[in-house]
Each structure stands twice: as structure tokens, then as C-alpha cells.
Chain A
Amino acid sequence: MLARTATIFKWTLYCAAGLLCMFVQWLVLNRLHIWGLIPFLYPLIVAIPSTMEGPLFGSAYGLVFGVLSDLLLPAPIPCFYTLIFPFVGFCAGFISRNLIPVGLLCSLFATMVSFFLTDLFHTIVFWAQNQAAWRAAAWVGVREFCITLPLILLITPLFGWVYRTVHQDD
């Protein structure tokens, strides 16, 4: 059990790492077109720390980053990311606690789930707006996941470093 100051320090570090990733996305990845799409880090920023912190804290972290993402990204409905990212955080935390132990494999699986949920939500919103495009959305989702996949190798160690820094006495 961490002390209150250590907990604040931990979440400050997680947010700083997340903001660093967002900065990289904004500065570099938004200008990079691979396979016709830009690599999209946001689901990773939520999923990977959530695998380390579990479903409850993952959901809270997802909520905060969802709000931030809604302020910065275009979305088909208001609060799109605020709605989906807490669920992504919960699922990522659930996976690490019950299915796969924390690590690169867990990050990979959690990222896959996070992309699936985010893209599925996009597609459902389009469908609800009478603009069903299941096949096109699935194709975009697959390509988006594939081009973002290599970045797990950078993001996982970054958040892992934050986790180890705070929990080194455990």
C-alpha cells in the first residue's frame, strides 16, 4: 500500500508519461502516413498503464485521458473518448489481473482489445447515425492497429519504468 504522497507522485508520473506520448503523437505521428493512416497512440496511452494498475484505477485513468482526448481530437459524438476510454482501462486492467500477467504480451493483448473497443464504438456510432460502414471501419481498425503495434515496444517500457520507480520498495 503506497502512502498518499507516493500515490500522487505515481499518478503524476503516469500523466506526464501520457502527455509525453500525446506530444509525440502531435509532433511526429500526426505527420506520418503509413498504409494511408496515421499511427494512433491514444488507446495505448490508456491500455498499458491500466494493465499495471488494475481495472479500478485503469478506469479512472481512462476517464481522465478520455476527457483530455475529447478536448483535442475530433469525434463523431460529444464525449466519445470520455465514454469509451474508461471501459478500455477497465478491460485492460481486467486482462492483466485475470488472464495474462503484466508484460509485453499483456500490453499487446490489451492494446488489441483497446483498439477493438474504440473502433467498434466508432462503427456503432456511425451505424446509429445511419452511416453504417462495417467493412470500411474494420479495415481502418486493422490497419490502425497494425501500424501502431510496433510502438508498444516503446510505450510499455516507458510506463513500466514509472511503475517500477514507484513500486521499487514493494
Chain B
Amino acid sequence: MKDFLKNNGLWILAATAVISVALAMLSYFSATSSPLENIANTLASPFRSARTAVSSWVEDKQNYYRDTTDLQAENEALKQQIAKMESEIRQARADSEENAFLRDLLGLQQQRRDLSDFETALITERSTSNWASTLTLNKGTSHGIEVGDCVIDESGNLVGLISSVGASWSTVLNIIDTDTSIGAKVFRTEDICVAQGSFSLMSDGLLRLDYLPDNCQLMPGDLIVTLGLGGFLPPDLVIGSVQEVKTDDSGAASYALLSPAAALEDLTRVCVIKSFEIQS
């Protein structure tokens, strides 16, 4: 090797110089990149592509992880937001129902100036026995409610009477209960009669209209309202409408089946009349 360089070193140097000059000339006169640069980059190109692919894959994974984490956080936040909005919707729905109830009640109050003092109450429990028809309300003596107070729905239909009352609760005896007996009159003819609950009709949600006058011309659909005599109940509260007129077992007297105007099964909120003006 030493001899080879000693013998041919000059030639090699000259050849290298010639090649270098040739390459320099080619680079100078070439319109594109230099041949050496071209060769070098051509050789490096696959490796560069591989490196780019690997870094892209890693970047994708990083982005995926970051996106997933962000999405999970966003999902959690959205869930909380939905829960909050659902709660607001529920509240709004309840408020809306109460608003409608109070609006109807306001209309009733404007129609009926004699009904001076109302208390709205929620129904917290329905009949606790199969032998009575009652409602339990969430208001009692602390809100001025007393035994015997009249309970109506938002349209002024009679629901029942307060039968027992505590500090924060009261029990309503529905008009279809067997213990209920109310002085009534036929709105069309002004005939006086008595509306009372009957056990055999209670399960059908009906009540009886008894003590009808002999000449009473009662027709199905006739509206029955409270009589209001004696000052126990306000007059002209709608009890219900006549469903059917019947004759009793003796054949001597007639009675009617009465369908209550208040939807007793669907009520959620009622109104207690705490005081009213007694009409002379």
C-alpha cells in the first residue's frame, strides 16, 4: 500500500483534482442541483421518508391521546351541563304548571269576588285505605287551614272538604267519599238536593244526588253546584254533572248518579278556600 501510494500518488492526486474540477464545472454549468448533492439526497430520500412516516405516526398518536383526553373532559363538562339544564327544565316545567294553575286561579278570583282567601297546596298522598277516598296536602294549620275548609281545583270545581289538619299537613275527604254530604242545587232548574258519596259508587269515581224534588226535571249533563246555605260552603262551586237519573228500589224516589267535575285521579295541586263572604 505504501509502495502503491509512492508509485501512483501523484496520479491519484491528479485524477482527484481533475474529477474535482470536472464536478465543479458540472455544478457551475448545471441547471439543477450538483451531481454529488443529487446522489447524496437520492440516497437519503428513503430514510427521510421513513423518518417522516415514523414521526407522523408518533404525532398522530400524541394528537389522538390529547384529543381523547380533551374529549373526555369536554364530555364530562357537557354531561354536567345537560344534567343542570335538565334540572332547570324540570323546574321550569313545574313552575310553568304552577303558573298555569295560579293564572286559572286568578281568573277564578276575578270571577268570584266572594272567595277572598286562597291557599294553594300540593297533594302528597292519595287514599291510604280501600274504604275511603282521601287526599293528603302539604299545608296545614301553619298556613291557616282549618277542618271543614273547602278544597277546589284551579277551575273552581269542588274536590272535597278538609277532614283533619296538622301543623304542616291536612287530609281532604273527597266528594266521592262515603262521609261526604253536601247541599247542592241543579244549576239549570235551581232545584235543591243533596250530593253524597256512596261506597258502591266510590270505586267508579261517582257520587249520588239524593232528595230530589218530586217535580224535578233532571237531565243527563245537568250541572250540579254547591248550594251555599248555612255558610259552610261557598255557593255555586261546581260539584259535577248528572250522568244518569235512576229510581230507588222502592220506586218512590229518584236519585241521580253524579260525575265529579274535578279530575280527582289526576290532580297534583289544589286550592283551599280559607274564608269566603257569606251571601245573604
Contacts and interface: CB of A to CB of B under 8 A. Distances in A.
The answer to whether A binds B is yes
Interface of A: 26, 30, 36-38, 40, 72-76, 122, 126, 129, 131, 133, 135-137, 140, 144
B199 A133 contact: yes
8 contacts: A36-B203, A38-B128, A38-B130, A74-B131, A74-B132, A75-B131, A133-B198, A135-B200
Given A30-B125, A74-B127, A74-B131, 8 more contacts: A30-B128, A40-B130, A72-B128, A73-B129, A126-B178, A129-B178, A131-B198, A133-B199
A43 to B, nearest CB: 12
B196 to A, nearest CB: 8
Interface in B166-204: 171, 173, 177-179, 198-200, 203
A66 to B, nearest CB: 14
B182 to A, nearest CB: 15
B109 interface: no
Contacts of B131: 74-76, 122, 140
B202 to A, nearest CB: 8
Nearest to A74: B132
Interface residues of B, number: 19
B199 A144 contact: no
| Residue among A26, A135, A136 with the highest chain B CB neighbour number at 10 A | A136
| Residue among A36, A133, A135 with the highest chain B CB neighbour number at 10 A | A133
A74 B203 contact: no
Contacts of B130: 37-38, 40, 140, 144
B199 A136 contact: yes
Interface of B: 125-132, 134, 163, 171, 173, 177-179, 198-200, 203
A17 B165 CA distance: 28
A131 B194 CA distance: 14
A140 to B, nearest CB: 6
A112 to B, nearest CB: 17
A40 B129 CA distance: 7
B199 A74 contact: no
A77 to B, nearest CB: 9
A137 to B, nearest CB: 6
A7 B251 CA distance: 61
B134 A74 contact: yes
A56 to B, nearest CB: 28
A59 B177 CA distance: 30
A47 to B, nearest CB: 17
